Amino acid sequence: MDVMKLVLGQGMRLTTRGVFLGLLAAFWLTRWLSSLLFEVKPFDPATFSAVSLLLLVVALIACWIPARRAARIDPIQALREQ
């Protein structure tokens, strides 16, 4: 269980930082790209939140699969094989 917490914690910490920096960059770039948008508000909160939530869910699944696999391995057997 500690291994799963470690892998999920590190992965999601990195993901939340990336989403936060991505949101800041997106807000900055929408001013530059606002002339290219067609019938979409440059600062649409629904779009920003939906994409951020989707990225967080995908990252959680991507971290959970290897964490589950790592939690199943016996540590002594893993050390013997190395």
> Quick check: 45 and 23 in contact, CB under 8 A?
no
Residue 81 lies in a domain: no
pLDDT in tens, 16-45: 999 999 999 988 888 778 777 777 677 788
Domain count, the chain: 1
Distance CA 64, CA 9 (A): 10
Residue 82 lies in a domain: no
Distance CA 67, CA 48 (A): 28
Residue 22 lies in a domain: yes
What is 8-26 written as a DSSP string? Answer: HHHHHHHHHHHHHHHHHHH
Residue 39 lies in a domain: yes
Q: What domain range is 10 assigned to?
A: 2-75
Q: What percent of the chain has pLDDT over 70?
A: 98
